[in-house]
Chain A
């Protein structure tokens, strides 16, 4: 049997067995859950080669599953993050209800994402896309009644996106008489101009919803922050990347074939940059860590979308690089929040403080990913962002650079807020009992932290596969290897040689720090954070010294005009208008027999009057 089919069967059978197993016992359910995901991952990396193809025909449509270098690359995100999040969720979801339901949808989520990546025709792409939507929807509404609005909003926007996509697919099918992606790419140049414009727009609407592009992002903050954190890391890290994957395909295969002056690239790039800027501002304003990360995800995906949309070799390279990194650091950060929520019971940044000594490993993971997120060297985020700036400048998008740079700099504020809020600041008695999260939760986070570090130092490890993937997408290797084309690498060689020097300095510094600490160890006196006196006053036990409340008030006041109305507000307006319209229409059915009889007569009269117009 074909190796791709086997993967899908493992997922499907695993999902059902896990569900049944969970009914029988907790341990059986969890172990089947892990077994499924790891078996599928192993099967994928050991047995499936690029070039494996499975063709079949369904309902008269020729369909094909297969793997390309670019989908292999994205599968790293899905399976890597998926398996780590699975390990994490065993402890994170302990003692929760309806675990079978959670595991089932978790597996279905990974299954559908792999399906999307392995589809080489539009119909199975769409089918997997929809499975992804409903399986994630099921997890968004896992918490029950309180999140029903969030769930409906998520599903509504997903449906709008999916149906835009379906419309495009249907039109493509009527034009090409095949649903294979390669046939579409091959014959796209012969489409009329109207189709050439509208088809990419419809497809991008579909992908834009999942990638959280403005103004289609309104579902994202709610959905990311209300799912269980074990899933949110996958949701924001991998699921949204499916939108990016779709965009990469559209921009590299279709939009290259339409005239440049149509500005689709520019519009999407601008939307991406605006998403980044506004998402960042909203993230700064949040006091809840989940919300903060959710908005931050929206913002980060904005960078990626801009990169994909600009679409020069370097920009695409940077965008895909950032996509993988975002999966790593945002996945970790959601796991961190999940760990803190599990240990303290809240995720409010103004409540929890001073966890650095209680949860040191979690702190390290959070620190690493925050550094990566903020784009500070030597972690991977720096490389990605640098390449993005460079690509934007090289392609003359100066205003975009300013916007992205603004978003990135303002991003420091929420990064700091996150780190300071949870881990630093004074220690409160309330959190004295908090302990480090279980090992199965900490280890996945640390693995990702190490990966972030490795990718920051040796970005070539990831850039090489991206390069191969891009060649497959039609970026000819005209100037040798793209992954060395950035200024960053040309100057210092394939790996960033500056960094070992930096590390050496840091190491010496650390050594001295340890040395001095050890030397002064005997004279150390432990003090609590309240053991201070300021201006002669000694603070009381419950006095709040932290400045976390209204953290960035001056800044937020300055940007207030931009944030006056959420886009939500406009959608609500439209929604209310629709409801009123529906209510009006409903009144057509009066429930009165006489009225219906009159309708029949009126209908007859209208038909008789219009008969010469209607019937030839």
Chain B
């Protein structure tokens, strides 16, 4: 074994707490160490993922307590894919944030501590096999999220952070309620154990718990109408944090929701509910996005909309549907951060961050503008970029399940998407620059980070087979609930024997 899944949680947490100490040795270490840690974890994740694909799921028990009593971490083809993706994004974001803006020593200490915690929380959510543990990770993620949102001292960011805090506390309250309900009924917190005993629960309690989960996790997964906080947070947080939210945090929220719906309970109608709520989220968010005048708010609404589409795809429920949802998640996790990262350099020196200020920057910041345009083309799903194949998978999955209305609506709303993205791209390239705007050339590491994303987007666009086999494997794993339960509980049997 290369390493244990525990390291994904332990190392970044430990590093986060040690960063202040490193700062005493050499101030630059505050910036360098997180990168090294994330890179190490990324390598570890990739090699573990390779091992998992060959030999099957790894179930790690913490402190020797076997499930269902102890906490366990599950590194399966599905969770492994997500954790690798998240670590990759974390690495890109670290590379980009290195010397981003005026993050000097003191703030940058906080920044990197919180970023590491955010990543830890997100990966913990994905890897853990215990719902209470998941709750704890959600809290870690949210709390570091509050901190990062309010990172720039100012009224607006404090307000955004406060809104997030309100919604976050509602979320944790209902999550806790749901967990209590389950524990009172089944006496267990282990996901596999719950899944195998779910039929013993009284149906009313089961549905109530499901509703509480939907409410609690829906806030993290940004479903309508629980996503009001998101645009504020995305637009007020530092640029790379917006990218982290859209590339990492939301994905973790979606994962948690999907885990509950797919694995924990088998409630009839919950998939249909996903389709309906996903569709509503998509439509409302895209309609709101077209009327925004601030670039980051527009991107935030677009991100919410895409998450709605992911839920729709999960709601289709077939292998193809899950595959499409994962494809969309991966594709969106690459494209939206690219948009956030390039977009935040485009409005670097402005206070308003409005779309108007992007006018004519194409001549002054050619690379950044080009990358933004590439991202815009990719996200609306124009071939030959990765967004097209993601959309294609969603549509074919819907068509194979006979959901013609979904296809029609998704395509109709894509036209709205095209309009607002192209308005921005047109402004960048064909309008005259505003006098007051001072362009800012990105740092070399930021350029590098963005170019990597762009290259991957183009590569997947031209040759989607690069990732499809992994996605198929992952969707297979998610759908095979019996195998999941058996994997985890068999570990328990081995221990008890």
- Residues of chain A whose beta carbon lies under 8 Å from any beta carbon of chain B: 58-60, 123, 126-127, 130-131, 134, 141, 144-145, 148, 151-152, 155-156, 159-160, 163-164, 166-167, 170-171, 173-174, 579, 581-583, 585-586, 588-591, 593, 595-597, 599-600, 602-604, 607-608, 611, 614-616
Contacts and interface: CB of A to CB of B under 8 A. Distances in A.
Interface in B390-412: 392-393, 395-396, 398-400, 404, 407-408, 411-412
B124 to A, nearest CB: 24
Of B396, B414, B463, most buried by chain A (CB within 10 Å of CB) is: B396
A156 to B, nearest CB: 6
B267 A616 contact: yes
Nearest to A59: B464
Contacts of A593: 159, 162-163, 166-167, 229
A131 B461 CA distance: 13
Given A141-B426, A600-B170, A615 B210 contact: yes
A604 B218 CA distance: 11
A278 to B, nearest CB: 25
A174 B324 CA distance: 14
Contacts of A134: 377, 382
Given A59-B464, A174-B396, A615-B267, A159 B415 contact: yes
A603 B212 CA distance: 11
Interface stretch (B82-90, B285-293, B307-315, B479-487): B285-293
B407 A151 contact: no
A152 B431 CA distance: 14
Contacts of A164: 411
B99 interface: no
A603 B225 contact: yes
A596 B167 contact: yes
A600 B226 contact: yes
18 contacts: A131-B383, A134-B382, A155-B418, A155-B422, A159-B418, A170-B399, A585-B284, A586-B288, A589-B288, A591-B232, A593-B166, A597-B166, A599-B226, A600-B225, A607-B211, A607-B215, A614-B273, A615-B210
Given A586-B287, A593-B163, A151 B426 contact: yes
Contacts of B174: 604
- The B contact surface, by secondary structure, is helix
A606 to B, nearest CB: 9
B389 interface: yes
Given A130-B383, A145-B432, A597-B167, 6 more contacts: A152-B422, A170-B399, A588-B284, A593-B163, A593-B166, A600-B167
Contact of B291 (A151, A586, A597): A586
A163 B415 CA distance: 8
Nearest to A143: B430
A134 B426 CA distance: 13
A38 to B, nearest CB: 26
Nearest to A60: B468
Contacts of B231: 589
B167 A59 contact: no
Interface in B205-245: 207-208, 210-211, 214-215, 218-219, 225-226, 228-229, 231-232
B419 interface: yes
Contact of A163 (B273, B290, B411): B411
A171 B219 contact: no
Contact of A615 (B207, B219, B287): B207
Contacts of A614: 269, 272-273
A131 B382 CA distance: 8
A596 B465 contact: no
B268 interface: yes
Nearest to A171: B399
A581 B287 contact: yes
B164 to A, nearest CB: 9
Nearest to B467: A59
Given A600-B219, A615-B268, A608 B211 contact: yes
Nearest to B399: A174
Interface in B251-302: 267-270, 272-273, 284, 287-288, 290-292
Interface in B168-224: 170, 174, 207-208, 210-211, 214-215, 218-219
A614 B272 CA distance: 8
A262 to B, nearest CB: 20
B388 interface: yes
- The A contact surface, by secondary structure, is helix
Contact of B163 (A60, A152, A596): A596
Interface in B443-497: 463-465, 468
A59 B389 contact: yes
B423 interface: yes
B20 interface: no
Given A170-B399, A600-B170, A582 B392 contact: no
Of A155, A603, A611, most buried by chain B (CB within 10 Å of CB) is: A603
B70 interface: no
Contacts of B208: 608, 611
B97 to A, nearest CB: 27
Nearest to A613: B269
B318 to A, nearest CB: 11
A603 B404 CA distance: 27
Contacts of A171: 399, 404, 407
B399 A596 contact: no
A16 B400 CA distance: 39
A174 B400 contact: yes
A156 B419 contact: yes
B384 interface: yes
A148 B419 CA distance: 12
Contacts of A170: 392, 395-396, 398-399, 407
Contacts of B396: 170, 173-174
Contacts of B288: 582, 585-586, 588-589
B465 A59 contact: yes
Given A148-B430, A156-B418, A170-B395, A582 B225 contact: no
B328 to A, nearest CB: 14
A595 B163 CA distance: 10
Contact of A152 (B292, B383, B423, B463): B423
A201 to B, nearest CB: 13
B41 to A, nearest CB: 30
Contacts of B162: 593
Nearest to B268: A616
Contacts of A579: 291
Contacts of B426: 141, 148, 151-152
A82 B422 CA distance: 27
B434 to A, nearest CB: 13
A614 B269 CA distance: 6
A479 B174 CA distance: 78
B194 to A, nearest CB: 17
A604 B214 CA distance: 9
Contacts of B416: 582
Task: Return the 3 tightest CB-CB contacts between A and B, nearest first.
Answer: A616-B268, A596-B228, A174-B399
A604 B267 CA distance: 18
Contacts of B400: 174
Given A59-B468, A163-B414, A174-B399, A616 B225 contact: no
Contacts of B287: 581-582, 585-586
Contact of A141 (B210, B412, B430): B430
A616 B232 CA distance: 36
Contacts of B272: 614
A58 B488 CA distance: 36
A604 B411 contact: no
B404 A589 contact: no
Contacts of A141: 426, 429-430
A597 B392 CA distance: 36
B68 to A, nearest CB: 26
Of B174, B231, B232, B404, most buried by chain A (CB within 10 Å of CB) is: B404
Contacts of A144: 430-431
Of A60, A134, A602, most buried by chain B (CB within 10 Å of CB) is: A60
Contacts of B290: 582
